[in-house]
Amino acid sequence: MPAPRYVTSVCSGSLILGKAGLLKGYKATSHWSCRNALAGFGAIPTDARVVRDRNRITGAGVTSGLDFGPTMIAELRDRTYAECTQLMSEYDPQPPFNAGTLKTARPEVKAPMIELIAGFRKQAEALAANG
């Protein structure tokens, strides 16, 4: 069976790739709540919306999939075609608030979200700890 051209995921899907042993030694990203758990699978957690390391391409949280799409189109076709797709879909992000990352969110936004998602984070870390 030939090797896959690309191994990809968006959001916490990278945990599945990690569990399958497909990220060992590769830089990868995931949703902020479980990104650090990737280290337990031998991956190198990276804080970026889209991370490419050789043929592994991972996207961070759900909306990074909007960046991931044109990235993959450029990989599979070319940059001009990807930009045409971006223009056709009018993808010109202008978020109403600057609270999309732990670096930019205000403390009163981060604290309740970290608490709310603590269970998921613990499950991700447990999955990674069990290899």
Catalytic residue numbers?
Answer: 11
- Please count the other Cβ atoms lying within 10 Å of the Cβ belonging to residue 10: 24
Identify the sign of the CA torsion 66, 68, 72, 78.
Answer: positive
For residue 25, give both structure tokens: 């030694």
Report whether 98 contacts 9 (CB < 8 A): no
Spatial distance between the Cα atoms of 99 and 5, rounded to a whole number of angstroms: 35
- Please count the other Cβ atoms lying within 10 Å of the Cβ belonging to residue 102: 14
- Between helices 65-76 and 79-88, what is the axis angle to 10°? 140
